[in-house]
Amino acid sequence: MSTSSPKNLDNPLSGWTVDRADIRYAGVGLQRPECILAQQDGTLWTADARGGVMRIDPDGSQQLIAQTQVSNDGSATDLILGKTLPNGLAFNSNGDILIANFGTDAIELMTRDGQSRTLYDQIDGRPLGKTNFVLCDSRGRIWFTVTTRLQPWTRSINEKAADGYVGLIDEHGIRIVADGFVGTNEIRLDANEEWLYVVESNARRISRLQVQPDGSLRNREIFGPSNLGGIPDGFAFDALGNLWTTLIHADRLIALTPRGDVLTLLDDGNPEQIEIFDRHFFEGTMTPELMTATVGTIAPLMASLTFGGPDLRTVYLGSLKGTTLPYFRSPVPGLPLPHWHRK
């Protein structure tokens, strides 16, 4: 697979970058808006460190729908060892919100009025581990990721532990369908749900596996470069098959074309901070303070993205240290998620 960056003359992203002057912002006073869901009517939902989800209406009004009264202050300690800490979000087939809770190490379900319950916190008689992301497919099956089972989970960064996994929840219950990942983060299905793409943050790469009818996964391979030049976190497909990806500690937004070529769309990183971070990352001397030190000015610790707007051409950026959601217009619409045409 090609890892160079030749011009893709038939790809609207080739040669295109985000114009900073065109960036706008949605939401105010957000806490750790790591993951974003967008609805066709313009409503946005974003994870919030206070223990729930912030709803942002098209008119700009917003409401915190809290699971609990426990609050995190966004400090390095809470980001690493926090209590309830909603991370990945997805709508299920009923429109309720699935939550991968990075603090409680559980997969949870919350109604839109805040009624919350734990779906699973164990698998095969063992704790799930550090739950990171959750995804619902067109059949209503729930896919999720666990970054690591090490305690504390930050050990996995310095040790580059390959103990992350992908799980599946369906009519048969919960099970592991692929493991051996190095820092499992977000997952996405392609347009036909034939391939599942997996971010391996601590390996700095994206892998993919073929999805079988029963939910099993086969033929694992690396997609794109074996080293993306930063730590990938969140990603999303556009309608042409480009895979937009955030590099969190570089505060950079890239896209992998269907051929696996890398296009840089937005670079908001500080080279000196990144050099220090990378040195400690590769030497295995990372600390919680270093993990939160590399921050850009647009979406500090850029963690995710989602396509929204009525035409799916508005890109919203999630982050770990931002208090608002930057957004801009894309030349390519996003790939609609299964919930897009539901109320």
Confidence bin at 67 (pLDDT 50/70/90): confident
Provide mean pLDDT across the span 50-70: 87
Res 71 pLDDT > 90: no
Q: 66-75, 131-140, 304-313: which has the minimum mean pLDDT?
A: 66-75
Res 286 pLDDT > 60: yes
Buried b (16+ CB within 10 A) or exposed e, 86-115: bbbbbbbeeeebbbbbbbbbbbbbbeeebe
Residue 78 and residue 92: Cα distance in Å, rounded? 28
Res 79 pLDDT > 80: no
Confidence bin at 77 (pLDDT 50/70/90): very low
Res 78 pLDDT > 80: no
Provide mean pLDDT across the span 29-42: 97
Provide mean pLDDT across the span 134-154: 96
Q: What is the structure's pLDDT at 233?
A: 98
The predicted-structure confidence for 225-247, as pLDDT tens digits, reads as follows 999 999 999 999 999 999 999 99
Phi, psi (rounded to 5 degrees) for 61: -70, 150
Q: What is the structure's pLDDT at 157?
A: 95
Q: What is the structure's pLDDT at 69?
A: 37
Mean pLDDT of the chain: 92
Domains of the chain: 20-329 (2.120.10.30)
Res 74 pLDDT > 70: no
Provide mean pLDDT across the span 80-97: 85
Provide mean pLDDT across the span 65-89: 63
Provide mean pLDDT across the span 205-227: 98
Q: Which residues pair with 108 in a beta bridge?
A: 99, 118
The predicted-structure confidence for 295-305, as pLDDT tens digits, reads as follows 899 999 999 99
Q: What is the structure's pLDDT at 76?
A: 44
CB of 208 closer than 8 Å to CB of 221: yes
Res 198 pLDDT > 50: yes
Res 261 pLDDT > 90: yes
Identify the residue whose tokens are 């303070």.
289
The predicted-structure confidence for 91-113, as pLDDT tens digits, reads as follows 999 999 999 999 999 999 999 99
Q: What is the structure's pLDDT at 32?
A: 96
CB of 91 closer than 8 Å to CB of 342: yes
Identify the residue whose tokens are 């809470």.
78
Q: How far is CA 5 from CA 12, 16, 259, 294, in A?
A: 14, 13, 10, 26
Q: What is the structure's pLDDT at 294?
A: 79
Confidence bin at 292 (pLDDT 50/70/90): confident
pTM over 0.95: no
pLDDT-above-90 percentage for the chain: 87
Q: What is the structure's pLDDT at 343?
A: 65
